[in-house]
Amino acid sequence: MAHSKGDDEREPGEIQGFWQRDSLVTFARENPRQAEAYEAEARRRIDAAVLRAEAAPYAEAPQAVADTAPGPLDWRPTRITAQERLVNLIHDALQRNMERDDRIVLIGEDIEGPYGGAFKVTRNLSREFPGRVRNTPISESAIVGLGNGLALSGLVPVCEIMFGDFLTLAADQLINPRREVPPHVQRPGRSPPRRPYADGREARLWTNA
């Protein structure tokens, strides 16, 4: 399963088969003149929108005024002594711990092989640990919600959130069920979502356990 054209590792025949069944390709093949007219109109609208955007003035962000005094900051430097890419260290840590604890499962978007996630953090782990690395629909709330349920059932899920920008989409599952359900059912659960960033940084957020 590929995330973009640049890293599509599927067989060419498989890709071509999908293109042949694509609804837009089928429409253009069966109605070439109408498809050409639609494409021309779409391009005209896009070009007009670009011209309007380029002519518009830059937006000015309002100056926010804090209504509360900021508290003290607590900065803790991360010390990584290994001379290795961080993405490889994370992969090795997941691999090492999955070998150690068969309760650990990974869930997230496009994390199964051969793709192995947007940053290849989970590359080949679905082959090494069959059934314990699972692709999910494109829904961060569903990913973390599933992780909450798995944690309550006794597993140790790691919820892969593809980009840090998407973490807020799972806010309800992080703030409400994740915090409130375990005490109500008197059953602890631990479900860490992992947050990769496109600029190379990575952080792990541990919610209430």
| Residue 119 located in a structural domain | yes
* Whole-number Å distance between alpha carbons of 26 and 183: 54
The per-residue DSSP string of 45-57 comes to: HHHHHHHHHHHSP
Which tokens go with 135?
């692709």
* Whole-number Å distance between alpha carbons of 200 and 204: 14
Strand (E) or helix (H) holding 156: strand 156-160
Block means of pLDDT (10 residues each) for the chain, 209 residues, are 65 88 93 95 96 88 58 72 83 94 93 88 94 94 90 87 86 78 57 46 39
Q: What is the pLDDT of residue 187?
A: 55
Answer yes or no: do 51 and 139 share one domain.
Answer: no
Three-state secondary structure call for residue 61: coil
Answer yes or no: do 49 and 93 share one domain.
Answer: no
Q: What is the pLDDT of residue 122?
A: 92
Which residue is it, tokens 């082959």? 127
| Residue 92 located in a structural domain | yes
Q: What is the pLDDT of residue 125?
A: 95
Q: Is the pTM of this model over 0.85?
A: no
Q: What count of Cα atoms within 13 Å lies in the side-chain half-sphere of residue 80? A: 12
Answer yes or no: do 103 and 193 share one domain.
Answer: yes
CB 144 within 8 A of CB 111: no
Answer yes or no: do 95 and 181 share one domain.
Answer: yes
Answer yes or no: do 118 and 198 share one domain.
Answer: yes
Handedness of CA 127, 194, 119, 17 (dihedral sign): positive
Q: % helix / strand / coil in the chain, to the nearest 5? A: 45, 10, 45
Answer yes or no: do 124 and 44 share one domain.
Answer: no
Total count of domains within the chain: 2
Range of the domain at 32: 11-55
CA distances (Å), origin 198, targets 88, 122, 163, 195? 15, 16, 7, 10
CA distances (Å), origin 131, targets 57, 105, 134, 155, 176? 53, 8, 7, 13, 29
